[in-house]
Amino acid sequence: MPRTRTTSAEIGALRRAVARACRAGGASLLVILASLTPLRAGEHDASIAWHAAPRHLPLFVFTADGSGPMTLRQFRGRVVLLNVWATWCPTCRRELPTLDRLQKRLGGSDFEVVALSIDRDGAGAIAPFFREIGIKNLRIFFDPRGTVLGEYTIVGLPTTLVIDRGGREIGRITGPADWDTPEIAARLRRIIAGRANARVGESHDARNITEARANKNAWPQRSQAHIDQGETP
């Protein structure tokens, strides 16, 4: 299948991302490599790596617009699709509408798409971007320090983790996917139906936010180079 045509706006965004990465250091260039391969129409599910056993995920603090600091523990009891992205990532722009449609189709008490931006400007950058590309069902989540990059070993944008009801990673894809296809929806429905753990209450989440903040000095220093990519050129 031929690749979709890359627009001048996407080329400009990619050039700006490359410039940021070069200023931040060679390791940061890894973050934009996924942007070099545009999302193809009808491309889906081919690159998801499903793990033989669930993998533990450490907690870290990020922000929900209108709700303040939180951790993934707040989503315990739901299957979560954690998508790490940025407004300057060309393939993220193409992928996000498919995640928006997936959230509309499956979102609720058993499933949520958590689209986590690493933009330094947080909601100030994300809200107008969502309006521009027609996002209506995704909540605004952001991690302006880019902590997720080091904590979850993110080496390219976009990266998506499939997380079970217990908060453990069961699958991952680095690069874009078409998330609202019937095949992916059916696969996620099977995962949702597989477990029925009760969600952990918000009172437990407050305690874990404190614990995550207490451990922030142990966060990998290597993520700092990635965080710098949120600067405007």
Q: Quick one: average pLDDT of 19-48? A: 48
Looking at residue 8, its pLDDT comes to 57
Give the model's pLDDT for residue 150. 95
Whether pLDDT at 189 is above 50: yes
For 72-124, write each residue's pLDDT tens digit. Answer: 999 999 999 999 999 999 999 999 999 999 999 999 999 999 999 999 999 99
Instruction: Kindly provide the b/e burial profile for residues 77-109, where b requires at least 16 CB atoms within 10 angstroms of the residue's own CB.
Output: bbbbbbbbbbbbbbbbbbbbbbbbbbbebbbee
Higher pLDDT, 164 or 213: 164
pLDDT in tens, 128-161: 999 999 999 999 999 999 999 999 999 999 999 9
219 domain-assigned: yes
DSSP labels, 61-107: -EEETTTEEE-GGGGTTSEEEEEEE-TT-HHHHHHHHHHHHHHHHH-
Angle, vertex CA 230, rays to CA 214 and CA 101, nearest 5: 90
Confidence of residue 64 (pLDDT cuts 50, 70, 90): very high
**pLDDT above 90 (res 58):** yes
Buried/exposed 139-164: b ≥16 CB within 10 Å, e otherwise: bbbbbbbbbbbbbbebebbbbbbbbb
Question: With contact defined as beta carbons under 8 Å apart, do 83 and 162 qualify?
Answer: no
Confidence category of residue 70, pLDDT binned at 50, 70, 90? very high
- Do strands 159-163 and 169-174 pair parallel, antiparallel, or not at all (unpaired)? antiparallel
Kindly state whether residue 133 falls inside one of the protein's structural domains. yes
> Is 194 within a domain?
yes
Q: Is residue 146 part of a domain?
A: yes
The answer to whether residue 3 sits within a structural domain is no
CB < 8 Å & 24+ apart, contacts of 131-138: 133/93, 133/96, 133/97, 134/97, 134/100, 135/96, 135/97, 135/100, 136/100, 136/104, 137/100, 137/101, 137/103, 137/104, 137/107, 138/96, 138/99, 138/100, 138/103, 138/113
Looking at residue 209, its pLDDT comes to 53
Q: Is residue 2 part of a domain?
A: no
Contact 102, 185 (CB under 8 A): yes
Residue 171 lies in a domain: yes
The model's pTM is 0.71
**Residue 1 is assigned to a structural domain of this protein:** no
Say what percent of the chain tops pLDDT 70. 64
The domain in which residue 12 lies consists of 8-230
pLDDT the model gives residue 229: 43
CATH number, position 40? 3.40.30.10
Pick from 37-51, 90-104, 187-201 the range whose average pLDDT is largest: 90-104
| pLDDT, mean over the chain | 77
What total number of domains does the chain contain? Answer: 1
Q: Higher confidence at residue 126 or residue 207?
A: 126
Q: For the chain, give the percent of residues with pLDDT over 90.
A: 60
Give the pLDDT confidence score for residue 194 in this predicted structure. Answer: 87
